[in-house]
Amino acid sequence: MNPILTVSELTKDIKQTLEEKFDQISVQGEISNFKAHVSGHWYFSLKDANASISCTMWKGFNSYVFFTPQDGMKVTLNGKISVYPPRGNYQVDVRSMKPSGVGELQAAFEALKQKLSDEGLFDEKFKKEVPEFPKKIGVITAIDGAAFRDMISVAERRFPLVEIVIAPSKVQGSGAAQTIAKSIRALNQQKDIDVIIVGRGGGSIEDLWAFNEEIVARAIFESQIPIISGVGHEIDFTIADFVSDLRAPTPSAAMELATPRKEDFFAFIGEFSYTSTQNLVELCSRSKGRISEILNSYGFRLPIDIVRKNFQNVDNISYRLFQNMDRKILVKNGKLSLLTKSIEAHDVNKSLRKGFVLVKQDSEFVTRASKLDKKKKTTLAFYDDNVDVKIKD
């Protein structure tokens, strides 16, 4: 006879079987019910015409995704099958994600463009005027990129008196949109910046995607400082171009629009800063590789799985807690409304306003004729005033 298993034992066997057999998978489908939790983790479903499967992507992995997933977008996922024992559900533990072709990114681009246009973010009435003679220009780009060097060259040639304030940012890949938006807000904290240039060199739609993210578009729109966008080549258009106060076809052209023409400029660029940045990037890259090797070793796998399971438990508990709080508040508000209406229904002033009168003797209301003492002082309480009267037989 087959041994009798507990639910936990059966789930454990299923978990081991699935996770060992499907430890490396690639799957393609359409995203639905996408939710970015406050914890930074992503929860969504991947579906096709006949089936659907739950997916999770932890914060440590989704930070490498260069675009923001949207419902309806077709993607290709790489990861493994995992089992969540408290519910007995299996799901895809996603390690990497990419769009299934350029068409998906173009569709997402058009959808966001239409949404922001309907909200008025592209309207001319919101465009700010770029100053003719700026004293200080903020530049948001990759400090080690060719676009940055080209802009500095243009500034040196055209208007050497201008001061350039650099806000180094990632302009491609995961986290680039967040760093660009953060740099825009940081430059807005400085009250002496006259104009900001947001730019990078040319590339594919994937390379330029950071400038098609909603977070960047809203940061540009909310900026109190005029912004010139100079992204890609002349044929490249991004969401940032439509929101910015002025669009330039290239980063160099953006600097030309921001500066008046001057013939002389004291040419100096900090080679040490550039070299140090390169060295720091190389050091970080080597250290990152070493840390990745350690974290992927066997000794770290089991603790990480336990932590991720508890992350999901915390997310579920917090969701139920907020739901219960909302329900209790709704019930209390209903009871409060009923009590308020009951109090209003017994309001004496409403009766007096209709023409009724209250009779007082010795500061007490007389409610029956038999209790009326004709010898005492009597007061009639009307809605608008009190009147003292004498009662005669």
pLDDT tens profile 339-355: 888 887 777 777 777 77
Name all contacts of 310-317 with Cβ < 8 Å and 24+ positions apart. 311/39, 311/41, 311/58, 312/41, 312/56, 312/84, 313/86, 314/39, 315/37, 315/39, 315/41, 315/43
Chain Cα centroid distance, residue 254: 29
Compute the distance between CA of residue 125 and CA of residue 129 in angstroms, rounded to an integer.
11
pLDDT digits (tens, 9 = 90+) for 54-73: 999 998 888 788 777 888 88
Are 72 and 164 found together in one domain?
A: no
Return the CATH number at 118. Answer: 3.40.50.261
pTM tops 0.75, yes or no: no
Are 152 and 180 found together in one domain?
A: yes
Of the listed ranges 139-148, 165-174, 293-302, the least confidently predicted one is 293-302
Are 336 and 354 found together in one domain?
A: no
Tokens of 252: 């160099």
Among the three residues 65, 100, 135, which one is the final residue of a domain in this structure?
Answer: 100
Instruction: Please give the full DSSP string across 155-184, using - where no structure is assigned.
Output: HHHH-TTPEEEEEE---SSTTHHHHHHHHH
Expressed as residue numbers, the domain containing 324 is: 310-342
Torsion angle, alpha carbons of 103, 107, 113, 117, to 10 = 150
Return the CATH number at 48. Answer: 2.40.50.140
* Mean pLDDT, rounded, of the chain: 84
Torsion angle, alpha carbons of 156, 146, 247, 100, to 10 = -170
Helix, coil or strand: residue 194: coil
Are 328 and 361 found together in one domain?
A: no
Quote the pLDDT of residue 237: 87
Are 155 and 173 found together in one domain?
A: yes
Are 123 and 269 found together in one domain?
A: yes
Q: CB-based contacts of 274: which residues, under 8 Å, 6+ apart? A: 143, 144
Please state the domain count of the chain.
Answer: 4
Among the three residues 100, 118, 142, which one is the final residue of a domain in this structure?
Answer: 100
Tokens of 81: 């099958």
**Amino acid residing at 234:** E
Are 117 and 95 found together in one domain?
A: no
CB burial string 74-96: b at 16+ within 10 A, e below: bbbbebbbbbbeeeeebbbbbbe
